[in-house]
Amino acid sequence: MGFSQLKIPKICEHCGKPFEAKTVITRFCSDACVDKASKARKKKEQEEERKQRILQESAVAIADIQTRPYISITEATILFGISKNTIRRLIKAGKIPAINLGERLTRVSRTHIESMFTTVALPEEKPQEQQPVKLRYEPSECYTINEISEKFGVSLSTVSGTIRRNSIPKRQVGKFVYVPKEQIDKIFVRK
């Protein structure tokens, strides 16, 4: 048979030795290598499955921890990424409410630790909120509509229209509308 005469030089995918293959799809030098390669592949698949299972279990465990108001110290380290020593120190300092149900059975308040994380984040936001543009609304720095009308010799409706068109900030005090002199001067002096 011509079939038996076919000899293709190849490298065994399992042991790495050169051999002469009888078909183009042969990948291994011997039955032993076929067997070992198949076992190795199965082992790899099982290892992958095991990893996936562990990942899934830890996701379920974390979801479970997040539903309970009181959690163990170990669970707190998983959830918040802080060490057991840090947690114990905070409990001793009275910063985290804890219940001791027996040896190795300390439970800490999850919601309290969570609120500690939010409290830490706040000081960074505050300085930004205190920065809004300071508007010159002091009465000495403002005109009333009537004052503008008299000073620049324009009608009340022109003044109102100009304020509206230029989106000039205004403040109503009683029946008077105050607008910043600075912005009004810029507009009417140009005219």
Q: Contact positions toward Zn ion, by CB under 5 A?
A: 12, 14-15, 29, 33
CB of 35 to Zn ion, least distance (A): 10
Cα gap 96→108, rounded to integer Å = 7
Whether the CB-CB separation of 170 and 179 falls below 8 Å is answered with yes
CB of 10 to Zn ion, least distance (A): 10
> And the tokens for 101?
């149900």
Paired strand residues for 19: 10
145's CB contacts (< 8 A; 6+ apart) are 156, 159, 160, 163, 176, 177, 179
Identify which of 85, 83, 87 has the alpha carbon closest to the alpha carbon of residue 96.
87
> Of 14 and 107, which CB lies nearer to Zn ion in the complex structure?
14
CB of 27 to Zn ion, least distance (A): 9
> Of 12 and 179, which CB lies nearer to Zn ion in the complex structure?
12
CB of 14 to Zn ion, least distance (A): 5
> Of 34 and 82, which CB lies nearer to Zn ion in the complex structure?
34
163's CB contacts (< 8 A; 6+ apart) are 145, 170, 179, 184
> Of 40 and 99, which CB lies nearer to Zn ion in the complex structure?
40
